[in-house]
Amino acid sequence: MSNFFNIDIVNPEQSFLSKDNVFEVVIPAVEGEIGILKDHIPIISFLKPGIIRVFSESEEQSFYVEDGIVEFKDNTLSVLTSSIFDLKDADKNFVSESISSAEAELSNDNIDDQKRFLLNHKVEVLKSISIN
């Protein structure tokens, strides 16, 4: 029996990625990264800014996401997100713009702790992208 399952990444405009030969996906859920293998129990969670890694038979892909919802059910992983891009076609300008806008928001004093945490995290991830 194969160890493969399906993944569907959709954003509001279109279906972003659809594959049926992945054996592991690592998603940045709010409470920590989750690695998903075949026959994982049904789970619903949402994402924090981070990198989704999709391991399929032939290749490994990485995507940056800002937020979204994941659902795993019947060996299909659905990722709903409004902001996603492939790390390979990351746009340097866009990344640095996002960093500076996030930093500008961070300098604002009246944001709550959770938001501050998310923004800090976002800056961290984006910086790690721009280094590579």
Lay out the site mask for other proteins across 51-70 (x = CB under 8 A, - = otherwise).
------------------x-
Place of tokens 């800090």: 120
Structure tokens at 18: 């659809």
Pick out residues in 12-31 that bind other proteins (CB under 8 A).
Answer: 12-15, 29-31
Nearer to other proteins, 1 or 41 (CB): 41
Nearer to other proteins, 32 or 131 (CB): 32
How many alpha carbons fall within 13 Å on the CB side of residue 39?
A: 3
7: helix, strand or coil: strand
Continuous segment of H or E residues that includes residue 85: strand 84-86
Minimum distance, C-beta of residue 43 to other proteins, in the bound complex (Å): 4
CA 129 to chain CA centroid, nearest Å: 13
Minimum distance, C-beta of residue 25 to other proteins, in the bound complex (Å): 15
95 — phi, psi (to 5°)? -65, -45
Q: Among residues 6, 23, 45, 61, which is the contact residue for other proteins, using CB under 8 A?
A: 45
Q: Which residues bind other proteins (CB under 8 A)?
A: 8, 10-15, 29-31, 34, 41-46, 69, 71, 73, 78, 80, 82
